[in-house]
Homo-oligomer: A and B are copies of this chain.
Amino acid sequence: MAKDLHITFLLDFYGDMLTEKQREVVECYYNEDLSLAEIAEEKGITRQGVRDAIKRAEQQLIEMEERLGLAKRFRKVQEKLTTMCDCALQIEAQNEKNGDDPVIRRNVEAILAYAQELVD
């Protein structure tokens, strides 16, 4: 059972739709990087029980994404923001070559700061 980065991403979006118990187990596994055995010990359930809970939760997260596609939508935003940052950096470099106009510099910095906030 390989830990799937995509699940971590989905968990950020849809984690709050899982039951409290499911979310606890899945977060231990994906966010705190505990092993099945460690989670089993901590929660007082069998290793197989942990595995089943994780599998069920993963399935639910994947189904939510299949229905809503919001993680994909957000990822697209992040990709475009990254490209927008590249454009802003090119403006910054060109502006420096041209003698560093402060109005342009200030606005480039603002664009980069907003983009950074959104990508985080």
Contacts and interface: CB of A to CB of B under 8 A. Distances in A.
Interface residues of A, number: 33
Contact of A17 (B68, B90, B94, B110): B68
Interface string A63-79: 01001101001101100
B94 A111 contact: no
A111 B84 contact: yes
A103 to B, nearest CB: 4
Total copies of the chain: 2
B103 A90 contact: yes
Contacts of A101: 94, 98
A117 interface: yes
B70 A88 contact: no
Given A17-B64, A88-B107, A91-B107, 13 more contacts: A13-B68, A13-B70, A76-B118, A77-B77, A80-B117, A84-B115, A87-B110, A87-B111, A88-B111, A94-B101, A95-B104, A98-B101, A104-B104
